[in-house]
Amino acid sequence: MTDSSNARFNSEAETWDLNPDVQASTKSALACLLERVPSLSPDNPSKPTILDLGAGTGLLSLALSPHASSILSVDPSAGMISALTTKLTAPTAPRNITPLHALLSSADDPVLPPGQQRFDLIVSNLVLHHVADLRAFIKLTYDLLQPGGLIALTDFENTGPEARKFHPEDKIPGVERHGILRSEMEKLLEDAGFVERSVDVGWVMRKQVEKYPGEWGAGKPVLKDGEEAAEMDFNFLIIMGRKPAA
């Protein structure tokens, strides 16, 4: 991730969970994962080890914790990981989540905790559009999986120029692409060596957008009586692939 991305997420960490769009996308991502990933089924006698890449404040990690044996929650933003670490001090917090402030450079990165170097499942939500080198990222996920392991990555789809509206103009710094292209992801999965590949729509999210670039300035305006917000539907893709079993 870029310095501008980190600066933005560090500054927003304390209020990140208050964003209704963040909450909505996390809830939808969880539902999609529980529906599509067999190892997360309550009938599975062996819960998976999970790596949450770009975990942020840990919303998805915390939601997945009952379905996992362990979760390593990694994020390059110190502010985001600090927020997650604080949550984990609560008496009722799950004990199977390990927060890690890092930008992983390889599957053998020495920052990985002992016993948490390879995973059964890798997830991320709304991360791929911040990644400069998608090819390297997808290859990294492949290398971090156990043989037979699965990736299940979710992000909004690039359906054309209108996809830019997903972010208000003041949030554009650090955005590497305005959504994910299905054809590109399919090719990257194939090139990395994944089998059982799929890239399709997991859900559709309706989101308030700016009526014109820069309308909101530093925040959404308060609507006047009778004034309607501009809204758009955004497809969220779920990108899945399995590493061949040994």
What are 23-34's pLDDT values in tens digits?
A: 999 999 999 999
Q: Which of 16-20, 102-106, 119-123, 180-184 is predicted with the least confidence, judged by mean pLDDT?
A: 16-20
CATH number of 3-242: 3.40.50.150
What are 65-77's pLDDT values in tens digits?
A: 999 999 999 999 9
d(CA 44, CA 117): 22
Give the list of residues 6+ apart from residue 27 with CB closer than 8 angstroms, or none.
63
What is the predicted pLDDT for the residue at 20?
A: 92
Determine contact, residues 155/209, Cβ cutoff 8 Å: no
Determine contact, residues 156/163, Cβ cutoff 8 Å: yes
Give the total residue count for the chain: 246
What is the predicted pLDDT for the residue at 227?
A: 77
Which whole number is the average pLDDT over 211-216? 89
Q: What are phi and psi of 41, to 5 degrees?
A: -65, 140
Which pair of tokens denotes residue 204? 């559709």
Answer yes or no: is pLDDT of 224 > 80.
Answer: no
Residue 22: enclosing H or E segment and its boundaries? helix 20-36
With 0-12 / 13-18 / 19 or more C-beta atoms within 10 angstroms meaning exposed / middle / buried, residue 196 is exposed
What is the predicted pLDDT for the residue at 5?
A: 61
d(CA 178, CA 200): 17
What are 83-125's pLDDT values in tens digits?
A: 999 999 999 999 999 999 999 989 999 999 999 999 999 999 9
